[in-house]
Amino acid sequence: MRQAALSMTRPHERPPLETLLARAAETASQIGPEFLAHAQKLDDLRRRFCGGRFHLAVLGQFKCGKSTLLNALTGDPVLPVGVVPLTAAPTFIQYGQSRAVRVIYRDGCPPDEFSGTGVDERRAWKPRT
């Protein structure tokens, strides 16, 4: 019934997507315990939507030019480029107020951070191994 009511409304009269996702998560959590995982996924989706970000994944074989392409798109040589394998770990680029590099370790060790601004300085920096 609610679905029929929604489809009858004009787009500008519909509740925002954030509200719809919150309602869907709440409804799923009330149906029964077997739907709690779905409720959680819907809530995760709502939080990601509210974050106002999207992820663009760039995947490809070794040395096919991924970093060169991303440096061209960002207009800043943030990623190392070369003929030997370089960007071997999953690397995320996101906007920040200032330039910084953060290395996150899988074993739970505290992250290493570097906040120098120069390209040469940044390239010379070595995280703890």
Measured CA to CA, the distance from residue 47 to residue 18 in angstroms comes to: 8
Binding partner of residue 83 among ligand GTP, Mg ion, none, CB under 5 to 8 Å per kind?
A: ligand GTP
Q: How far is the CB of 80 from ligand GTP (least distance, A)?
A: 7
3-class DSSP assignment, residue 124? helix
Among 12, 83, 110, 126, binds ligand GTP (CB under 6 A): 83
Q: Assign residue 52 a region: left if phi > 0, alpha if psi is -120 to 50, beta otherwise?
A: left
Give residue 62's identity as a one-letter amino acid code: F
**Residue found by looking up tokens 């505290």 in the block:** 110
Scanning 18-26, 31-39, 61-69, 97-105 for contacts with ligand GTP by CB under 6 A, the matching segment is 61-69
Our finding on whether 91 is near Mg ion (CB under 5 A) is no
Our finding on whether 93 is near ligand GTP (CB under 6 A) is no
Measured CA to CA, the distance from residue 18 to residue 87 in angstroms comes to: 36
Q: How far is the CB of 4 from Mg ion (least distance, A)?
A: 50
Residues forming contacts to ligand GTP in the complex (CB under 6 A) are 60, 62-68, 81-83, 85-87
